[in-house]
Structure 1
């Protein structure tokens, strides 16, 4: 049937150019290339595959609910086109799996977790089958490697689900597969390398060499907006606010690129961390004016609250607390955290003394460590009344010492955090245990490291449960546990 329809999979030079343009977030020129190729090659499976790839990038960035409803109807149609490829083509199952993975990420982004999870399971089965049928076909490993890492970092109390569904994960195997593609498969090299770096940044642990590589990518492709975006977010995550600001300042713009209001949110984050409250407000408000999505609404209102509250303009701050309750979703952790803060603040559970802790937190997040230490040196544990505040005081001190390279000075504060967190603030206890695990890992004390990672996972309900458990599980896997 496939051969009767004459369907084929040819990644022509023009289509490879479109693929590259999508990865740069230059969606308009990418679609022009795709439309031109569609006219001359209507039966080429790579055209609907790249249509789908472009749609994924648009949906993840725009969070356009109407477009999501309309575009999601095209999934089955595109899968049907992939099904027309001959059974002896290694691209048949690979492209079917790619389309399912694209929609898995889109559905998870839009809060359709069950449907998104089933897409991942179906994609995994297709990739596994393709790997058995065509073991030398390297593109399979790009996506299979990603899934192997994600499945391998699932917390232990959920692994029974993956076993029941026949999903096998291994962080080491997944990383090896991604690197094999990056080294030996020129077409998918860029995507495989970026996936590898992002997995280390957000699930595993970035090495100095990987951080250096992340610095190089935007320099190698100054017209690549996606590289500038990820460099900004990764360096923010690594507490290097000034470097992040540099990548953001050089980010390309223009009509060829997809509108990206989230970049204004990131500008606000950097200014808030610097303590530049007035300019931070402007960036967050600009983000809200341009943005029509649903994530980070609550969080940006929290940050606007902070811009006034930390500047001792409490009356102006109040209206943004009320806005947190009024709109936005709670899909991402940042919005969940904002919602909890608003509820606690309105219930009178957050005292003015918390301003010190938030100022120190934001300064630390941006890598302004001297400023953060100066803030914290003005107070002691006894300056705070509640157990959560005392716990956070010790955690903040520990983080500043750790980020300043004074590892041994951070340890007692992390241990004190662990002790106090049993009475309250389990999130800080879990975070402290995770960091102590990393410290012991760096010191080659595998037994102690494993103990701390297990302790991190033992904390029950808290706002960072999923991300901390994933990181701890990934670290335990690397330790052979």
Structure 2
């Protein structure tokens, strides 16, 4: 009996070392969160033993390398490591709350990577398995805070599934909603290990799923300023601000980003800078950034988008001949893939352009759209002010003209000026279910929500949901449902 007791103690002591955040591993994780991938990998090579934390961080480093480079050859070389790391983690202490968390994190790392390389089906199965692991861990260890960072994220994603696909989630045993996910992300922020990630994810949920308000922007600015040496935060801060029509602030984040060789290369930043200068109407500077992106980038994503934007730089510039810009649009059809939304939009524009051509009015609307999307409302208004509804003969162009003016006034905090234009865009769009109607209804819902007119706000959010077929349905429906729940 004495020897059996000593044997059990030995097993217990061995398992106690299965998941240990050594000082070196803590430093490596901090470096990875900053995108200092090489220094983190060097630190990981000094760690010995089958420590589950090191396995997790090795995998994190590979994921960052893959999603920042979009390199197909690197993906082919590294993809076998997912099963190796999962097998290694399964051999460690399954009585530790860390085991299932790290198994789920590795699954999610590869799901994210696979999505970037067009492996949607395999990525989906990784997400489902990660969800099962985290749900089980929550039941076994309900007070273990690290569980809630990724579980909260998944619950938001599940809650964002369009109504017509919700049965699929239920069939697969995936349950959750946006409010539940947000609460879990708030809880995860109490954990010192994953606090920074949880804060960033929470802000991204507010930006991409909900409505990003002034308090959220202040929280984002504070987070970035607290971590001046964090390239990842500057990058995501810029993408969030650009998404929400604050491209000048996005430019400030990218201008102040750390730029030494210690950081992982991020060629996509050149693409974002090109976007911002295109919105500003500085076509020469935008062209320089898009060309720099194409010269340094090794992947297949964002190629269609970049050539489309290069086309716009020529097409929209004064005194340019359309035929000179057309070869750039031909490149859109010849390169890359349509995995990310911006490439899909570029492909759609190019196909429509070569099939139907483009009216002069499209240039007017495109200039206004780009400026408005970036938050440069003075320029956007100047583009549209010389025209009226009567100048546009096609219904989609009339609808877009009114929608753009409505959004410009809304961004200028002039909601009463915005309302008639958004209402007109909605009325013009409804017969043919144009996307401008759905987005106009959503913005009208926000305006009346701010006015505390719940009846009108509810009516417009429901109207936004009623549009059945348009390219922004998932995003608009998510935001409209969130608006309704907020009432």
After superposition, the C-alpha distances for 1:168-216 in whole angstroms (9 at most, x for unaligned) are: 112222111111221x211111011111011111111222122112112
Moved more, 189-198 or 212-221: 212-221
Compute the displacement of 1:60 (Å): 1.3
Aligned to 1:226: 232
Q: How many angstroms apart in 2 are the aligned matches of 1:148 and 1:478?
A: 18
Aligned to 2:209: 203
SS state at 2:158 partner: helix
Task: State yes or no: 1:23 paired with 2:33.
Answer: yes
Q: How many angstroms apart in 2 are the aligned matches of 1:60 and 1:456?
A: 34
Task: State yes or no: 1:139 paired with 2:146.
Answer: yes
Change (3 A) 1:76 1:458: same
CA contact (8 A) 1:387 1:424 kept: no
- The one of 353, 359, 371 aligned to 1:351: 359
CA contact (8 A) 1:3 1:86 kept: no
Aligned to 2:5: none
Task: State yes or no: 1:384 paired with 2:392.
Answer: yes
Compute the displacement of 1:467 (Å): 2.3
Aligned to 1:277: 283
- The one of 125, 134, 140 aligned to 2:132: 125
Q: How many angstroms apart in 1 are the aligned matches of 2:96 and 2:75?
A: 31
- The one of 473, 476, 480 aligned to 2:481: 473
Aligned to 2:113: 106
- The one of 175, 185, 210 aligned to 1:168: 175
Moved more, 156-165 or 25-34: 156-165
CA contact (8 A) 1:146 1:178 kept: yes
CA contact (8 A) 1:172 1:478 kept: no
SS state at 2:274 partner: helix
Q: CA RMSD in A?
A: 1.8
Aligned to 1:454: 462
Q: How many angstroms apart in 2 are the aligned matches of 1:194 and 1:263?
A: 19
Compute the displacement of 1:456 (Å): 2.3
After superposition, the C-alpha distances for 1:303-322 in whole angstroms (9 at most, x for unaligned) are: 11111111141232111111
CA contact (8 A) 1:152 1:477 kept: no
Written as runs of structure 1 = structure 2, the 5 A alignment for 1:48-127 is 48-127=55-134
Compute the displacement of 1:3 (Å): 4.7
SS state at 2:356 partner: coil
Compute the displacement of 1:471 (Å): 2.6
Q: How many angstroms apart in 1 are the aligned matches of 2:72 and 2:468?
A: 34
- The one of 304, 309, 316 aligned to 1:303: 309
Change (3 A) 1:463 1:246: same
CA contact (8 A) 2:433 2:467 kept: no
- When Rg is computed on C-alpha atoms for both structures, the one with the higher figure is 2
Unaligned 5+ residue runs, structure 1?
none
Q: How many angstroms apart in 1 are the aligned matches of 2:184 and 2:467?
A: 33
After superposition, the C-alpha distances for 1:317-353 in whole angstroms (9 at most, x for unaligned) are: 1111111111111112211111111111112342121
Moved more, 435-444 or 147-156: 435-444
Compute the displacement of 1:161 (Å): 1.3
Moved more, 388-397 or 248-257: 248-257
Aligned to 1:336: 344
TM-score scaled by length of structure 2 = 0.93
Change (3 A) 1:386 1:457: same
Aligned to 1:9: 19
Q: How many angstroms apart in 2 are the aligned matches of 1:449 and 1:148?
A: 26
Compute the displacement of 1:164 (Å): 1.5
- The one of 386, 401, 419 aligned to 1:393: 401
Q: How many angstroms apart in 1 are the aligned matches of 2:36 and 2:404?
A: 41
CA contact (8 A) 1:426 1:460 kept: no
Moved more, 1-10 or 454-463: 1-10
Q: How many angstroms apart in 2 are the aligned matches of 1:60 and 1:131?
A: 29
CA contact (8 A) 2:230 2:258 kept: yes
Aligned to 2:3: none
Q: How many angstroms apart in 1 are the aligned matches of 2:367 and 2:301?
A: 24
- The one of 411, 427, 437 aligned to 2:445: 437
Change (3 A) 1:159 1:475: farther
Unaligned 5+ residue runs, structure 2?
1-7
Aligned to 1:244: 250
Aligned to 1:372: 380
Compute the displacement of 1:478 (Å): 4.0
CA contact (8 A) 1:154 1:473 kept: no
Q: How many angstroms apart in 2 are the aligned matches of 1:155 and 1:445?
A: 26
Question: Structure 1 segments of 4 or more deviating over 4 A?
Answer: 1-7
Change (3 A) 1:358 1:202: same
Aligned to 1:262: 268
Aligned to 1:287: 293
